[in-house]
Homo-oligomer: A and B are copies of this chain.
Amino acid sequence: MIKVKFLGTTASIPTRERNLPSVFVMFKGERILFDCGEGTQRQLMGQGLKFMKINKIFITHWHADHFAGILGLIQTMSLEGRKEPLYVYGPKRTSEFLEQLLTIGYFNRSFKIEITEMDDSFSIEGDGYTVTAFSVTHRIPSLGYVLEEEPRSRANMQKAKKFGLDTSPMIGKLKAGKTITFKGKTIKPEDVIEHLPGRKIVYTGDTKYDPNVIKHAKDADLLIHDSTFASNKDDIDEIGHSTAKDAATVAKKANVKLLVLTHISRRYQEGKDSTDPKILLDEAKKVFKNTILAHDFLEFEVK
């Protein structure tokens, strides 16, 4: 099971409805954060997400709206007596900046923090998945991340039935790659077991339209893309963000299954026709139909 929950969906400045960026991902019980804006610990609390068990945090870039919450979260973990190490990943200078952040004031940390600086196409191995960084185009060194599950194998139950195997625990052995003998027949794994690609989710962080995102998001199940403005914003290119149309164009070219628009400028707020965030959704859907607009606490499973 891969569960995704949006903890913050605004751009740069929080609003009543939207906190600063953070995306929570649960991969088969392992809890991971992508970005950690101010207030993330409070967004986590009361959502039943067991924030103490978060063991990896991926920072996309060192703008405060994407990292400022890590200080309070780490302090709270310490006050709660955490002993397990926390793994933090980010672009170059992450060690320097995190060290600087965690040595302000007076604070005794109860656990180790292991920092890894990543670069384009650099991968780390998790338990049953990899996370690969890819460079994006923002005003400062910035990364996006691909979380990709290992290829999965499952029994084709129709084939299994032909061998009389449909209720047999022997299927587990076949899945593990072993040839078995059953009712006098030799059955090879490939007679019953099919391989499926792993699920793939992609988070861009802040980026303007960038072909490198298309490359890395290829055939993803879920693409979470910067969608700060609608395309009538004229200085969008300078400021290093995407329009809803940019996000949808990337989603289409990358052939993803689902696009979620996030990092929504606070100029888009419910209640006014001219600035309703649905403008962004409508704009994206003209290019790529299977699009959702993120809101805080939006949650779904990637199947």
Q: Are A16 and B45 in contact (CB under 8 A)?
A: yes
Copies per complex of this chain: 2
Which residues of the other chain, B, contact A14 by a CB distance below 8 angstroms?
Answer: 41-42, 45, 72
Number of A residues near B (Cβ < 8 Å) is 37
Listed residue (A46, A65, A69, A104) with the most chain B CB atoms within 10 angstroms of its CB: A104
Q: Are B68 and A140 in contact (CB under 8 A)?
A: no
User: Assuming A69-B38, A71-B38, A72-B38, is B16 touching A105 (CB within 8 A)?
Assistant: no
Chain B nearest CB, measured from A32 CB (Å): 21
Looking at the complex, which of A95-103, A129-137, A146-154, A277-285 is the stretch in contact with chain B? A95-103
Report Cα–Cα, A51/B149, bound state, in Å. 45
A250 within 8 Å of B (CB atoms) = no
Say what secondary structure dominates the interface of chain A. loop
Report Cα–Cα, A63/B12, bound state, in Å. 25
Chain B nearest CB, measured from A83 CB (Å): 18
Report Cα–Cα, A226/B223, bound state, in Å. 47
Chain B nearest CB, measured from A63 CB (Å): 6
Which residues of the other chain, B, contact A45 by a CB distance below 8 angstroms?
Answer: 14-16
Report Cα–Cα, A16/B42, bound state, in Å. 7
Report Cα–Cα, A76/B37, bound state, in Å. 13
Which residues of the other chain, B, contact A69 by a CB distance below 8 angstroms?
Answer: 38
- Other A-B contacts than A65-B72, A68-B71, 7 sampled, CB-CB below 8 A, are A14-B72, A15-B46, A62-B105, A64-B105, A68-B72, A100-B103, A106-B139
Q: What 3 A-B pairs have minimum CB-CB distances, sorted nearest first? A: A62-B105, A38-B72, A106-B140
Instruction: Report which A residues bind B (CB closer than 8 A).
Output: 12-16, 19-20, 38-39, 41-42, 45-46, 61-65, 67-69, 71-72, 75-76, 79-80, 97, 100-101, 103-107, 139-140
